[in-house]
Chains A and B, each alone.
Chain A
């Protein structure tokens, strides 16, 4: 902790540190070229597109608390809906933690309105009797017309069923508005089968519990057990009692989430107790997935549109250009000022800023590849603001050197003692910036997160550059005659700094 005046040994090999830094940068560059991450991924506000932030909440008329599982389900439902649009590079992500998460949907291009309408609906879980089923492709008629009970299935529905092609993504979209009181046609969630389904008889909210379990005796098979509440027990008892004696596929009850069939188990017996088990050749993942779907039904979530932002590609390009212009202008002004004020030392600050800029650019490229980092307008702003912070570190160091020179030290000694003192200030100050960036990142909503991210990243880069570039370079320059002899333009001339005495005393 102490900042002593003892001579320090960090000066020993400035060249080696510089070489190491150069190697690190070359390694990064090589990684960029090898992984092919040659373009910074731009956010939607810079290239045009629609982003929707949804806040899950309990659907109107429901009681209970939003659970983590329910949000996980909601995210996967929305992902299914968005994927069905077939737009490349669409993303659905949850942001935040626990039950406070928001769902963020980003879709490039011009699909704005459709997306907004699609993702905002509440997804419902319903149990419906299967009236007919068939493979997922469009066909002329249901596989076995004789098995179709004429009573429930209208000719229109039959025609719809025949025409339905579950291999098309738009038919796997899901919708919260499947008619609960009438028969519908629906696809299997994976598109492999299609069904005609009777009206909904048991509702998701009538499920009180669902768990995945493993049958220890029966060959370690995974199953899902289900418990219904009072209403659900009666309704489920009725439907199972009625269908169990019917021929296949009418003895199946489909579990329908968001208009898509998740599972259509055959009913082996009437289940009046309210406790059911679904067995089959489940893997662990499948069983847990089904149990989660059933749990979700207990509390369907509605999605509040938090924020919808649609940026046309024209505006995106404008914003990108403006951001870059501001960046160049800011950088140029800072460079100009440091050259004017620090003269010879300004060279160090120009070099350091260029190295820092290069490092940040390489990291942008790589982080885009590795963690899907996208550069937004706010992110660009963060990087520009960081130019100032980076330059500040140099000033702290330069002013320290000048103070040491004023106290009568030779430049070579001032560069070292000044560094010991400046180092601590720089670390403490940068650390405060990093704390700020981390907290901003976790508490920021939506796009402004990018600001905190780039601010934090560039502050880290600043620390690296100050230690591995600025300091060694300054040490090196201090050996040059131009600087050590105190040339008027060197920025460290004892005369113009008003040093106590011009006699140099070597520490």
Chain B
């Protein structure tokens, strides 16, 4: 632990510096690949929507020694054959999913299940979703998403600066894309709880970005006055200085979410807890990544295109680099990329 604290100190002083912004093309390329893969997965496979979106019914019978055959018997006797999925959940549960059923059919199936398994009708856990329900939830979720992006952009533009708001929102959209892509690729069930999870990620991913940007703003406030660093160098230092913090906040956030996921998936099988926490878990991980590798480089590139920042970059360049950041004595042992201080960063003024 104390070694890690030592790393925190070196990152803080700039003694050890990882070049996030200079290597941004690498991260952009990685994210671009992931997004293309997400779009491909989404268009080829699509999302695996739960019955909440399609309409349908789900019955869970809890009884020790229950078997899939018993469920089959009941389905046959109730005359239901279409779109049926029967799953064994844990030791003592059998879940039966069907397409949309009229009330009388649904009652008939409940009765048949009760007699086939030898349980009372009231002990069968039932969820019935009307066919128009999915549209309603989808509509609301979309409104929520759009409303959120607008409100947060305005807020961040006021609290920080407009370009930070844009960079933060781009990072958020990036996170949503990749998370949805992972869902399409792996084929996890998408339920309303998943959607709520997605929407929560938006808030959380921004939390991470806000913490980093706050430091960026602090470091760059007097950057034009001192002419010691370019905007990108100052921003890169900020990312490095908040690196330990970002890692810790992400770990702290993932620990409880991970335990919900563990308990939800392990003890309850499918359900609200699992759906919610899975979406959060994936989203938190991508959120932590994007606030460091996407949001800040994007911000730096946007700011570097401003005439004042270009002039600053020229001045810094003329001085021959950054005297503030000691590039000697870098102590990370595995050399290579991490050894590059800001002095070695490629110049990128005027480029996109």
Please pick, from B103, B144, B160, B242, the residue contacting A443 in the complex, using a CB distance under 8 A.
Answer: B144
Say if the beta carbon of A26 comes within 8 Å of chain B. no
Say if the beta carbon of B77 comes within 8 Å of chain A. no
In chain B, what residue has the closest Cβ to A335? Answer: B255
Known contacts A306-B133, A315-B60, A443-B147: A389-B126 contact under CB 8 Å: no
Q: Tell me which residues across on chain A come within 8 A of B267, comparing CB atoms.
A: 318, 322, 325
In chain A, what residue has the closest Cβ to B202? Answer: A436
In contact, B272 and A447 (Cβ under 8 angstroms): yes
Q: How far is the CA of A378 from the CA of B204 in the complex (A)?
A: 17
Q: Tell me which residues across on chain B come within 8 A of A338, comparing CB atoms.
A: 252
Of A396, A425, A448, most B-chain CB atoms within 10 Å: A448
Say if the beta carbon of A497 comes within 8 Å of chain B. yes
In contact, B263 and A395 (Cβ under 8 angstroms): no
Please pick, from A326, A421, A446, A498, the residue contacting B192 in the complex, using a CB distance under 8 A.
Answer: A446
Say if the beta carbon of B62 comes within 8 Å of chain A. yes
In contact, B256 and A378 (Cβ under 8 angstroms): no
Say if the beta carbon of B10 comes within 8 Å of chain A. yes
Q: Tell me which residues across on chain A come within 8 A of B121, comparing CB atoms.
A: 112-113
Q: How far is the CA of A488 from the CA of B236 in the complex (A)?
A: 30
Q: Tell me which residues across on chain B come within 8 A of A326, comparing CB atoms.
A: 256, 259-260, 262-264, 273
In contact, B129 and A310 (Cβ under 8 angstroms): no
Please pick, from A319, A331, A497, the residue contacting B256 in the complex, using a CB distance under 8 A.
Answer: A331
In contact, B260 and A496 (Cβ under 8 angstroms): no
Q: Tell me which residues across on chain A come within 8 A of B127, comparing CB atoms.
A: 307-310
Please pick, from A116, A307, A399, the residue contacting B52 in the complex, using a CB distance under 8 A.
Answer: A307
In contact, B9 and A389 (Cβ under 8 angstroms): no
Say if the beta carbon of A440 comes within 8 Å of chain B. yes
Q: How far is the CA of A311 from the CA of B268 in the complex (A)?
A: 13
In contact, A406 and B12 (Cβ under 8 angstroms): yes
Say if the beta carbon of A350 comes within 8 Å of chain B. no
In contact, A318 and B268 (Cβ under 8 angstroms): yes
Q: How far is the CA of A500 from the CA of B280 in the complex (A)?
A: 39
Q: Tell me which residues across on chain B come within 8 A of A112, comparing CB atoms.
A: 121-122, 126
Q: How far is the CA of A204 from the CA of B136 in the complex (A)?
A: 29
In contact, A304 and B263 (Cβ under 8 angstroms): no
Q: Which of A6-14, A292-300, A426-434 contacts B (4 or more CB under 8 A)?
A: A426-434
Q: Tell me which residues across on chain B come within 8 A of A329, comparing CB atoms.
A: 259, 262-263
> Measured between C-beta atoms, what is the minimum distance from A437 to chain B in Å?
7
Q: Tell me which residues across on chain A come within 8 A of B8, comparing CB atoms.
A: 399, 402, 497-498
| Chain B count of residues within 8 A CB distance of the other chain | 83
Q: Which of B1-34 contact A (CB under 8 A)?
A: 1-2, 4-6, 8-10, 12-13
In contact, A384 and B5 (Cβ under 8 angstroms): no
Q: Tell me which residues across on chain A come within 8 A of B257, comparing CB atoms.
A: 330, 384-385, 388
> Measured between C-beta atoms, what is the minimum distance from B167 to chain A in Å?
14
Q: Tell me which residues across on chain B come within 8 A of A343, comparing CB atoms.
A: 1
Known contacts A377-B273, A388-B257: A3-B218 contact under CB 8 Å: yes
Say if the beta carbon of A289 comes within 8 Å of chain B. no
Say if the beta carbon of A72 comes within 8 Å of chain B. no
Q: Which of B175-183, B206-214, B225-233, B332-340 contacts A (4 or more CB under 8 A)?
A: B206-214
Q: Which of B35-43, B66-74, B193-201, B343-351 contacts A (4 or more CB under 8 A)?
A: B193-201
In contact, A425 and B210 (Cβ under 8 angstroms): yes
Q: Tell me which residues across on chain A come within 8 A of B211, comparing CB atoms.
A: 396, 425, 429
In chain B, what residue has the closest Cβ to A341? Answer: B1
In contact, B155 and A499 (Cβ under 8 angstroms): no
Q: Tell me which residues across on chain A come within 8 A of B5, comparing CB atoms.
A: 402, 496-498
In chain A, what residue has the closest Cβ to B58? Answer: A309
Please pick, from B4, B210, B271, the residue contacting A319 in the complex, using a CB distance under 8 A.
Answer: B271
Please pick, from A399, A431, A451, the residue contacting B155 in the complex, using a CB distance under 8 A.
Answer: A431
Q: How far is the CA of A402 from the CA of B125 in the complex (A)?
A: 52
Please pick, from B143, B244, B273, the residue contacting A399 in the complex, using a CB distance under 8 A.
Answer: B244
In contact, A388 and B203 (Cβ under 8 angstroms): no
Please pick, from B13, B62, B144, B218, the residue contacting A406 in the complex, using a CB distance under 8 A.
Answer: B13
Q: Tell me which residues across on chain B come within 8 A of A432, comparing CB atoms.
A: 152, 155-156, 203, 206-207, 210
Say if the beta carbon of B46 comes within 8 Å of chain A. no
Q: How far is the CA of A384 from the CA of B263 in the complex (A)?
A: 12
Q: How far is the CA of A102 from the CA of B133 in the complex (A)?
A: 11
Say if the beta carbon of A424 comes within 8 Å of chain B. yes
Say if the beta carbon of A334 comes within 8 Å of chain B. yes
Say if the beta carbon of B123 comes within 8 Å of chain A. yes
Q: How far is the CA of A500 from the CA of B326 in the complex (A)?
A: 13
Q: Tell me which residues across on chain A come within 8 A of B206, comparing CB atoms.
A: 429, 432, 436
> Measured between C-beta atoms, what is the minimum distance from A341 to chain B in Å?
6
Say if the beta carbon of B49 comes within 8 Å of chain A. no
Known contacts A428-B210, A451-B276: A55-B136 contact under CB 8 Å: yes
Q: How far is the CA of A498 from the CA of B14 in the complex (A)?
A: 12
In contact, B6 and A307 (Cβ under 8 angstroms): no
Q: Tell me which residues across on chain B come within 8 A of A488, comparing CB atoms.
A: 2
Say if the beta carbon of A323 comes within 8 Å of chain B. yes
Say if the beta carbon of A305 comes within 8 Å of chain B. yes
Q: How far is the CA of A497 from the CA of B244 in the complex (A)?
A: 12
Q: How far is the CA of A399 from the CA of B133 in the complex (A)?
A: 47
Say if the beta carbon of A403 comes within 8 Å of chain B. yes
Say if the beta carbon of B107 comes within 8 Å of chain A. yes
Please pick, from A55, A378, A435, the residue contacting B132 in the complex, using a CB distance under 8 A.
Answer: A55
> Measured between C-beta atoms, what is the minimum distance from A443 to chain B in Å?
3
> Measured between C-beta atoms, what is the minimum distance from B350 to chain A in Å?
32
Please pick, from A337, A429, A452, the residue contacting B196 in the complex, using a CB distance under 8 A.
Answer: A452
> Measured between C-beta atoms, what is the minimum distance from B61 to chain A in Å?
10
> Measured between C-beta atoms, what is the minimum distance from A407 to chain B in Å?
8
Q: How far is the CA of A110 from the CA of B148 in the complex (A)?
A: 39
Q: Tell me which residues across on chain B come within 8 A of A396, comparing CB atoms.
A: 211, 245, 249
- A selection of 8 A-B contacts at a CB cut-off of 8 Å is A307-B129, A309-B128, A424-B214, A429-B206, A432-B156, A436-B200, A448-B196, A448-B272
Binding site for B on A (CB under 8 A): 3, 45, 53, 55, 102, 110, 112-113, 116-117, 120, 304-312, 314-315, 318-319, 322-323, 325-327, 329-331, 333-334, 337-338, 340-341, 343, 377-378, 381, 384-385, 387-389, 391-392, 395-396, 399, 402-403, 406, 421, 424-425, 428-429, 431-433, 435-437, 439-440, 442-448, 451-452, 455, 488, 496-500
18 other A-B residue contacts (CB within 8 Å) besides A322-B264, A497-B5: A113-B110, A311-B125, A312-B62, A314-B123, A322-B263, A326-B256, A326-B259, A334-B256, A378-B196, A385-B260, A389-B204, A389-B207, A435-B148, A443-B147, A444-B144, A451-B196, A496-B2, A499-B9
Binding site for A on B (CB under 8 A): 1-2, 4-6, 8-10, 12-13, 52, 60, 62, 103, 107, 110, 121-130, 132-133, 136-137, 140-141, 143-144, 147-148, 151-152, 155-156, 159-160, 192-193, 196, 199-200, 202-204, 206-207, 210-211, 214, 218, 241-242, 244-245, 248-249, 251-260, 262-264, 267-268, 271-273, 276-277, 280
Closest 5 A/B residue pairs (Cβ): A498-B9, A436-B203, A330-B256, A443-B144, A388-B253
